[in-house]
Amino acid sequence: MNGTPNDYIKYRINKSKETLADAILLSENERWNSAVNRLYYAAFYLVSALIHQKGNKAESHNGTKTQFNLHFIKTGLITLEHGKLYANLFDWRQESDYADFIDFEKEFVYDLILKVQIFNTEILQLPDA
């Protein structure tokens, strides 16, 4: 990693915002599975910044999910509802990338966009986020 820890955190936050915008563009073009992939990454980049900010790190997507649960969900800093959303995003991204005959639908994706926007906003409102 180049730069300071704060550089990394800022980079990941900006990457999250950019990736969320990409998800919206993909959904506007009815690319539902690709939009779900980008929604996962929009949350992932922000969660990884949050984990790093607290002095922890994860080496994989599963590790990020575990660290998020351990340090933010179980401690009550993030709601269980948001923890479930993140876990579901992880699973849906896996399905959209690797499973056959998985086709997400418009209503599902638009609802998911709103949920990820709320998720990201709440994470950014945490102290020191």
**Residue ranges per structural domain of the chain:** 5-124
CA distance 38 to 52: 21
> SS3 for 48?
helix
Residue 84, phi then psi, degrees to nearest 5: -65, -40
The CATH architecture of the domain made up of 5-124 is: Up-down Bundle (1.20)
Closest CA to 122 of 94, 90, 96, 83: 83
Q: pTM for this structure?
A: 0.93
Q: How would you write the pLDDT of the chain (129 residues) with one tens digit per residue? A: 578 889 999 999 999 999 999 999 999 999 999 999 999 999 999 999 999 998 888 889 999 999 999 999 999 999 999 999 999 999 999 998 888 899 999 999 999 999 999 999 999 998 765
Structure confidence at residue 105 (pLDDT): 95
Q: Which residues, 6 or more positions from 55, have their beta carbon under 8 angstroms from its beta carbon? A: none
Distance CA 17, CA 9 (A): 13
